[in-house]
Chains A and B, each alone.
Chain A
Amino acid sequence: MGHLTRAHLLEALVFLLIVVAFYGFSFEFNQPIEIYRYGATAWPRVVIGCLLFATLGNIWFQYFNGSLSQGTIGSSNDEADLSDPKTIRRMTVVLLTPIVFAWLLKPVGIYFSAPFFIAAIIWLFGERRWKAIVIMTVFIYLLFIGLFLVILNAPLPQGNISPFYDFSAWILTMNAKLQGI
């Protein structure tokens, strides 16, 4: 096993899966193009081939050197320390919260979901004073509404499920009245 760790093997497995998946899916669009001899698959497959070569080279390097840095320009030696299960649990929640927020944007809309998302992020970043969470949530929400809705009139997701859609409509009506003044 040389200097290979479980993390190295996992990393290699992920990249090899990417290589296999992208190569496999390339057959779905493997059709000739009349004006171009190499077709639509040539470029992606060359990239996939190079990625396979680099992945194998990376495993080979890690076999002899482990996580050693080659000191390339601008590189960081700062590595993730996820040995503590509590940190892993918290990071999992941190990573999933924005995905849930993004997934809710279509049905619920940004105007309703944003305050809950803002409060959740503040809490996940370690703030435990409820007063501070509420004040900062309101402040950031108003700043966001003021900048993107009132000043820039940017079209944002409103949701498509009642009563969330009605709430977005109410905010937009209020903005229209404000603009009228």
Chain B
Amino acid sequence: MIENFLAGSAALFGDPFTIGIFVFGVIGGMLFGAIPGVSMLTLAAILLPFTAALEPAQGVMLFAVIYCTGTYGGAITAILFNIPGSAENAPTAFDGYPMTQNGQSGKAVGAAVLCSAIGGIASSLIMMAATEPLANWAIRNIGPPEIFALVFFGLAVASSIGARTIWKGWMSVLIGLLIATVGQDPVGGINRYNFGMVDLAAGIAFVPAILGFFAVSEIFVQAEKKASGKYKAPKVSMTFPSWLELWMHKVAVLRSIIVGFLCGILPGIGATLAAFMSYGEAVRWSKTPEEFGKGKLEGVISAETANNAATGAAMIPLLALGLPGGALTAMMVAVFQMHDLQPGPLVFMLSPDLIWIVFAAMFYANLSILVIGLVETKTILNLLKIPFQFLAPLILMLATTGAYIGRGLVLDVIVMFLAGIFGYLLRRSGFSIPGIVLGLILGKIGEQNFAQGMQMVHYDLGTYFSRPICAFLIAAGVLTLATSLYRAFKSTKASA
């Protein structure tokens, strides 16, 4: 492994052009992740056509680096503006944004920098050691029924997070699932809910929906506060967390690395579930769970360690099985295909050099977060000093461009603003925006794998329970839902 890693490092740093691509990916990922309204996905979407001119290893490596640094960059906007760069940064905002409002933005961002780097580096090392054995295990044990069960479990967990009541948490996830049914059905390609519009046949694109639900709705919330005279400018602070404070959270960091890696490794899910689950586990294990959501450092640490720990793990299903874990890894499949390559077990045999350049680049990208992140953070914190009336149009313009350039459709801009209005109204009524987005992202994956799974087991649902991993995940999901339902009934009875 060490020899392969050194060979990958030598290939990475032996060519000035490859170094240039690496540096561009590191800075671009961080910057686009940290600019409110755009994300690493925007940068990746812009760069995708240009990767055709690069070597396959350079193209895949660029996207892997953007994935690592962009996941960290998205935490900055989540903490400072309550605008997660992507869905995996959503739990970071739960405590990060209240910390900003309490004048502890520096502490939250500092923790995000350090924990993202720790989670990412640990994940890269495990990824290098375990990719091949885990890929072999996953090929034998993970099929469509397991992926469906995992989606079901992930949605069950997400429904209990972020909404004012459990009922509204469920409604949020279900609205996301319903939006995901727009477009062609994943089995027969039959158009659903497209109302005769050709552009809707491909469904609602993730990027405009995420931009609308998070970025645009946040602008509207701030506009309402301005209009009603309740707006409070966020307080800027440059105080980073001390080493002692971080040492006190060592268990949370370790737990989040494990949760993040295990969630990230499972195909079809990526870092989003990892961040949500890690945050949920932090609350479950805490002696003061009531403090979460009000500006607790452990919330930021858990979410950020886990989502970066998942980046390395998410490469395993991508490289070993050809299954993308999220939007960015899906774009990486496109990079492979542009070069007539197909990610999967054969890549390990046919292009080992490519694999090890990507692994080495991800390790160094996570290390860069630690070095560049701390320097960059102080500059980014100054964004808070810009009055919101000037920041809002900038965010909206960036979001408009980000929504448009993905597919070149004005419809996506309209969808983004409609999602913004819908998101604003739902947020102000106590619904969970991360729940909606998770439902939207996982809906199609869930349906596709359910259909494939049912065809596989000849429509015998009982077979699902004879598969141990599948049975365990479904049982855990049902238990989560049953516990929520029990709590919902109990709290209603107590009030009545």
Contacts and interface: CB of A to CB of B under 8 A. Distances in A.
Contacts of B171: 15, 51, 54-55, 58
B46 A154 contact: yes
Nearest to B452: A36
Contacts of A7: 429
Interface in A93-147: 94-95, 98-99, 101-103, 105-106, 110, 114, 117-118, 121-122, 124-127, 136-137, 140, 143-144
Given A65-B492, A70-B487, A152-B46, A44 B178 contact: yes
Nearest to A88: B227
Nearest to B98: A76
Interface string B405-436: 10010100110111011001001111010100
B167 A125 contact: no
A51 B195 CA distance: 21
Contacts of A54: 167, 170-171, 174
A77 B169 CA distance: 14
Interface size range of chain B in the complex: 35 or more
A90 B417 contact: no
B167 A110 contact: no
A37 B394 CA distance: 50
A173 B434 CA distance: 42
Interface stretch (B185-193, B258-266, B345-353): B185-193
A153 to B, nearest CB: 9
A33 B187 contact: yes
Q: Is the interface of A mostly helix, strand, loop or mixed?
A: helix
A54 B437 CA distance: 18
Interface of B: 46, 91, 94-95, 160-171, 174-175, 177-178, 181, 185, 187-188, 190-193, 195, 216, 220, 222-224, 226-228, 230, 279-280, 283, 289-290, 292-293, 387-390, 392-394, 396-398, 400-401, 404-405, 408, 410, 413-414, 416-418, 420-421, 424, 427-430, 432, 434, 443, 447, 450-451, 454-455, 459, 487-488, 491-492, 495-496
Given A69-B165, A72-B164, 16 more contacts: A25-B193, A35-B187, A43-B447, A50-B174, A54-B170, A58-B171, A61-B488, A70-B164, A70-B165, A73-B292, A75-B162, A75-B430, A91-B220, A95-B220, A121-B392, A127-B389
Which A-B residue pairs are the 9 nearest by beta carbons?
A80-B428, A33-B188, A125-B389, A74-B94, A58-B167, A40-B185, A121-B393, A54-B170, A118-B393
